[in-house]
């Protein structure tokens, strides 16, 4: 074997072993996503101890990697309480004689009150809200709602135009007690709610509803928990030279949980993917300590309004001023078309670092920037003046806050590339 052949052989072996190592890393990340979004985690929400099980899973990983806990009790947990409306019991609906499936066919607005027609089918009063032309007309319709009756309101989207802040939350407050079925064309999106409204609001998929919905039988059981016990999971790898400087990777591990016994919201993309990536980085940096300390913070309560990260930012376990950079990961399970960096416009230096690394190594197809958003946990840090970016994947996956956000539906494309990009980025942040 001559020198030339040796060189070729070595390159081949190297390429082979790198791709094999990468493959096993990718497999590891995918496995975490599958576990976290599997049925045993119950959607990592507020029923069947789903969130608690996910937290315990994260803690087991932290312990296994050898991360240090911040708290003296070594639990890695930062406990707090929050109010939450839950659906642990029955969520059933029949229109005319047709049984609808909770999840794909209908969702109950997360802040709804309970409603039970006691096995009877009650009359539905049909109103077409498409005829509402202004807020005065809507006020007139509203004033006629009778709390003893049930309604099917067509074209409810029209009304949201006349509201000041047209969101599901503000819209839900417009209704008195009673049953309101709102046919919807297209995607049904569920939410986690910390406050309840008097009404029971059901968004139903237009195409599965009978043409003339005349009667409805429903049993919607809810349980409002004023002080639900929740926890963030925190750990770190101490820095070898500057242990008081922190780079912190964050992700929310919670999702929406279950809507009744039958509808599971797996949250594979949102945000088992980000949680798995933070776990991967925790495992990596535990084996490769850095100059700076590297923190790993997995928050809960995000879906209800960034509750866990807000709690953390108000009760940090070390001074927030020691954080050099927060990197928040949310919905990174599909980066087919690359990634977006929120705050990439104001964190110019960091954005340039990411671009620079990627132009050399082509880890992800494309990196784009976007200005500040309030839709994930980075915001709790930005608000306190901590440098924070939020990275999400750009793919083709249409599932969001629904029963279809499953691991099997995720492309997981370039999630390994993103992992490598973040390893290198951590190096750049420390001036390597």
Candidates 129-137, 224-232, 270-278, 340-348: pick the segment binding Zn ion (CB under 5 A): 270-278
Q: Which is nearer to Zn ion, 106 or 190 (CB)?
A: 190
Q: How far is the CB of 40 from Zn ion (least distance, A)?
A: 20
Q: 27: alpha, beta or left, given left = phi > 0 and alpha = psi -120 to 50?
A: alpha
Site for Zn ion in 275-334 (CB under 5 A): 303
Q: Cβ of residue 330: shortest distance to Zn ion, in angstroms?
A: 7
Assess contact for 214 and 425: CB atoms under 8 A: no
For position 270 contacting Zn ion by CB under 5 A, the verdict is yes
**The one segment of 2-10, 137-145, 155-163, 268-276 that binds Zn ion by CB under 5 A:** 268-276
Handedness of CA 334, 338, 341, 342 (dihedral sign): negative
Distance CA 300, CA 308 (A): 5
CA angle 141, 142, 143 (to 5 degrees): 95
- Kindly state whether residue 174 participates in binding Zn ion, applying the rule CB under 5 A: no
Nearer to Zn ion, 257 or 316 (CB): 257
Residue 303 or 413 having the CB closest to Zn ion: 303
Cβ atoms of 364 and 417 closer than 8 Å: yes
Q: State how far the alpha carbon of 389 is from the alpha carbons of 210, 249, 261, 395, in Å.
A: 47, 10, 37, 19
Give the Cα separation of 263 and 43 in Å (integer). Answer: 10
Minimum CB distance to Zn ion, residue 192 (Å): 9
**Interaction of residue 105 with Zn ion, rule CB under 5 A:** no
Comparison of 89 and 305: residue with beta carbon closer to Zn ion: 305
Query: Between residues 270 and 350, which has the closer beta carbon with respect to Zn ion?
Result: 270
Q: Which is nearer to Zn ion, 270 or 416 (CB)?
A: 270
| Nearest CA among 15, 52, 7, 9 for reference residue 301 | 52
Residue 191 to residue 172: CA distance in whole angstroms: 12
- Binding-site size for Zn ion (CB under 5 A) equals 2
Residue 385 has which token pair? 């003046």
Contact 281, 249 (CB under 8 A): yes
**What minimum distance in Å lies between the beta carbon of 375 and Zn ion?**
8
Q: How far is the CB of 328 from Zn ion (least distance, A)?
A: 13
CB 148 within 8 A of CB 123: no
Q: Which is nearer to Zn ion, 303 or 416 (CB)?
A: 303
Are 279 and 350 contacting, i.e. CB atoms less than 8 angstroms apart? no
Nearer to Zn ion, 153 or 194 (CB): 194
Q: CA-CA distance, 209 to 205, in Å (whole number)? A: 7
Minimum CB–partner distance for residue 401 and Zn ion (Å): 6
Piece in contact with Zn ion (CB under 5 A), picked from 46-54, 267-275, 311-319, 386-394: 267-275
Minimum CB separation of residue 400 from Zn ion in Å reads 7
Q: Quick one: 162 or 400, whose CB is closer to Zn ion?
A: 400
In angstroms, what is the minimal distance from the CB of 270 to Zn ion? 4
- Strand, coil or helix: 365: coil
Query: DSSP letters along 267-286, please?
Result: -IIIIIHHHHHHHHHHHHHH
List residues near Zn ion by CB under 5 A: 270, 303
């Amino acid at each position: 074997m001559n020198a030339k052949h040796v060189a070729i052989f070595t390159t081949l072996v190297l390429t082979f072993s790198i791709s094999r190592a990468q493959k096993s890393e990718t497999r590891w990340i995918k496995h975490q996503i599958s576990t976290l979004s599997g049925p045993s985690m119950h959607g990592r929400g507020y029923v069947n101890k789903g969130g608690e099980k996910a937290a315990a899973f994260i803690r087991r990983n932290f312990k296994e990697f050898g991360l240090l806990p911040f708290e003296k009790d070594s639990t890695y947990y930062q406990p707090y309480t929050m109010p939450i409306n839950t659906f642990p019991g029955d969520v059933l609906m029949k229109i005319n004689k047709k049984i609808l499936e909770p999840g794909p066919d209908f969702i109950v607005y997360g802040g709804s009150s309970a409603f039970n027609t006691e096995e009877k089918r009650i009359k539905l009063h049909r109103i077409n809200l498409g005829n509402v032309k202004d807020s005065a007309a809507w006020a007139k319709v509203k004033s006629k709602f009778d709390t003893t009756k049930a309604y099917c309101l067509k074209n409810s989207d029209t009304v949201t135009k006349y509201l000041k802040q047209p969101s599901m939350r503000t819209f839900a407050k417009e209704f008195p007690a009673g049953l309101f079925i709102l046919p919807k064309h297209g995607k049904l999106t569920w939410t986690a709610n910390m406050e309840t409204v008097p009404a029971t609001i059901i968004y139903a998929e237009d195409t599965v509803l009978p043409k003339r919905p005349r009667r409805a039988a429903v049993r919607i059981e809810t349980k409002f928990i004023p002080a639900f016990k929740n926890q963030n999971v925190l750990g770190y790898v101490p820095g070898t030279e500057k242990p008081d400087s922190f780079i912190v990777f964050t992700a929310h591990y919670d999702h929406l949980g279950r809507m009744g016994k039958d509808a599971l919201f797996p949250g594979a993309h949102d945000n088992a993917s980000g949680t798995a990536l933070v776990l991967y980085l925790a495992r990596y940096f535990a084996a490769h300590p850095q100059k700076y300390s590297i923190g790993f913070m997995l928050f809960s309560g995000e879906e209800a309004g960034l509750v866990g990260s807000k709690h953390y930012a108000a009760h940090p376990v070390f001074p927030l001023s020691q954080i050099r950079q927060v990197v928040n990961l949310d919905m990174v399970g599909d980066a087919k078309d690359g990634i977006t960096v929120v705050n990439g416009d104001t964190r110019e230096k960091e954005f340039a670092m990411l671009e620079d690394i990627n132009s050399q190594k082509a880890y992800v197809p494309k990196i784009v920037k976007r200005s500040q958003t309030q839709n994930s946990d980075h915001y709790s840090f930005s608000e306190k003046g901590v440098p924070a970016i939020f990275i999400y994947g750009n793919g083709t996956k249409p599932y969001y806050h629904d029963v279809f956000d499953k691991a099997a539906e995720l492309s997981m494309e370039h999630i390994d590339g993103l992992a490598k990009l973040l390893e290198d980025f951590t190096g750049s942040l420390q001036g390597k």
